[in-house]
Amino acid sequence: MIIDYEFNDYSINTVNFERILIESLNLMGISNREIELSVSFVSEENIRILNRDYRNIDKKTDVLSFPLLDIDEIRDSKHPILLGDVVICPEVAKKQALEIGNTFDLEVEYLFIHSIFHLLGFDHIDDDDRVIMREKEKAIVNKMKYIKLLEEAKGILENAYAPYSKLKVGASLLSSDGNIYSAVNVENSSFGATVCAERMALGQAISKGDHEFVAIAIYSSRGKILPCGICLQSLVEFGTDLDIVTGDEELEVYKLKDLLPKEFVL
């Protein structure tokens, strides 16, 4: 992937771009292929000129995509794939992020995801095509969100206090407002006083006034892991639709209601 910072007035984080590209191709059933892609960050004036010259629309925009192959050519190619060119305007991305309450980094990542699916043959000119493209984009946005959440859990893992079981666990709980609460397991010589990472994270969230959650990511010193029964019961108090995220090489996502189909209720 070639990245050109023609317009560099912003600090642009592209660390996740390669993973986004891989996950987008995997979603389309295209894997283990050598891909070449160009990404350029340009000013409002330059993207306006490109939009005018190539689309006959004389106004600035957020992102442009210039595919070199159609999807069948991409799938059938036996050679390195020249996917095309992506042009992103950070100035427009910044304004859009402020308007919708998004972060600049996440807005740039979304524009990159959007452009990749244009390069893969998707469009949003009519309603049916728009729905299909948005579903693809949402799948990648959610996967990247959960990959980052799992990284949060892994990052805090070594802080766990587990002298008895030797099993260190980190958990990161994502609220519906986008807040992340990370915690570790804390063991005690009186085993009943031990608190799991999931409940530690949940306690933090409740203490801050968050009661609605999207997902919780969990990882252990032995690799992927799922919550114990007590943690499942604690989490289900706040809804059954929570996603449970774990995994080693591949991300694994489970629904809380599937892991605990019959919770205890008073």
Query: With pLDDT > 70 as the criterion, what percentage of the chain qualifies?
Result: 100
Q: Which amino acid is at 83?
A: L
Same domain, 196 and 115: no
- Note whether residue 76 is domain-resident: yes
> Are the CB atoms for 27 and 140 separated by under 8 Å?
yes
Residues 112 and 200 in one domain: no
Indicate if 112 and 165 belong to the same structural domain: no
Which pTM does this prediction carry? 0.82
Q: Are residues 104 and 167 in the same domain?
A: no
Same domain, yes or no: 110 and 179: no
CA dist 45 and 58 (Å) reads: 10
Q: What is the DSSP string of 5-51?
A: -SS-SS----TTHHHHHHHHHHHTT--S--EEEEEEE--HHHHHHHH
Residue 234 falls within a domain, yes or no?
yes
What pLDDT, on a 0 to 100 scale, did the predictor assign at position 135?
95
H or E element: which one contains 181? strand 180-184
Nearest in space to 121 (alpha carbons), one of 76, 73, 79: 73
**Top-confidence residue, 8 or 72:** 72
Q: 155 with 230, same domain?
A: yes
Q: For residue 129, is it within any domain?
A: no
What's the pLDDT score for residue 150?
A: 97
Token pair recorded at residue 231: 């943690």
Domain encompassing residue 29: 2-122
Does 157 lie in the same domain as 249? yes
Q: Which of 73, 105, 122 is the last residue of a domain?
A: 122
CA distances from 2 to 5, 46, 139, 206 (A): 10, 19, 25, 44
Query: In terms of domains, do 112 and 221 share one?
Result: no
pLDDT band for 4, please (50, 70, 90 cuts): confident
Give the per-residue pLDDT at 169.
98
**pLDDT of 203:** 97
Same domain, 100 and 197: no
Over range 1-9, report the average pLDDT.
Answer: 78
For range 7-27, the mean pLDDT:
86
More confident site: 160 or 9? 160
What domain count does the chain have? Answer: 2
Q: What was the pLDDT predicted at 124?
A: 87
In a domain, 132, yes or no: no
In a domain, 127, yes or no: no
Domain boundary at 122, 137, 163, which? 122
Q: Would residue 252 count as lying in a domain?
A: yes
* Region 188-199 average pLDDT: 94
Instruction: Please tell me whether residues 186 and 87 are part of one structural domain.
Output: no
List, in order, residues 6 or more apart from 102 with CB less than 8 Å away.
96, 110
Residue that terminates a domain, selected from 105, 122, 139: 122
CATH code (residue 235): 3.40.140.10
- pLDDT at residue 96, rounded to an integer: 94
What's the CATH code of the domain at 61?
3.40.390.30
Q: Is residue 254 part of a domain?
A: yes
Domain shared by 158 and 117, yes or no: no
Report the sign of the C-alpha dihedral through residues 226, 232, 234, 238, in that order. Answer: positive
Reported as a pLDDT band with limits 50, 70 and 90, residue 226 is very high
pLDDT digits (tens, 9 = 90+) for 31-87: 777 889 999 999 999 999 999 999 999 999 999 999 988 888 888 777 788 899 999
Q: 93-140: per-residue pLDDT in tens?
A: 999 999 998 899 999 999 999 999 999 999 888 888 899 999 999 999
Q: Is 265 domain-assigned?
A: no
Looking at the fold, whether 117 and 170 belong to one and the same domain comes out as no
Model pLDDT, residue 9: 72
Tell whether the model's pLDDT for residue 222 goes beyond 90.
yes
Examine the pLDDT at 223 and tell me if it is beyond 90: yes
